[in-house]
Homo-oligomer: A and B are copies of this chain.
Amino acid sequence: MYTAETQIRVRYAETDQMGYVYYGHYAMYYEVGRVEALRQLGFSYRELEEMGIMMPVLDSKIRYLKPARYDELLTIKVIIPVMPAVKMNFTYEITNEKGELINQGETTLAFINMENGRPRRLPDVMKKIFEPWFSK
């Protein structure tokens, strides 16, 4: 298991007329959390794409527990529960400044060769980085 935390400040653009963060923006918060989790491991998603591999999202589940509000500093906890292979799972827990859990979710991503659109296993460079976190 690997765990990482990132902070994000809610932008005015992300609120809606309910006065809350629009529900559609959590997927973007998850994306920021994923990318920063990889960066903290020394791996850049940008470089992955430069290697010709992309990671589209296959499915997502989100539970909206409490609203997030403008200018709040949210903490996004990203958990990689199992060693990635042809797919990669992420789970997410977002807490607000009071420490309240406001949002929970999970996503599955695939590794795809950009050239032919075919699924593939995670690249060796990622494998080496991840293995220490998932071996007993």
Contacts and interface: CB of A to CB of B under 8 A. Distances in A.
Interface of A: 11-13, 15-20, 22-25, 27-28, 31-32, 35, 44-46, 49, 54, 56-64, 67, 70-71
A33 to B, nearest CB: 11
A12 B20 contact: no
A120 B29 CA distance: 30
A57 B15 CA distance: 14
> What is the oligomeric copy number?
4
A19 to B, nearest CB: 5
Contacts of A64: 56-60
Contacts of A28: 11, 13, 22, 24
A15 B22 CA distance: 9
A35 B71 CA distance: 9
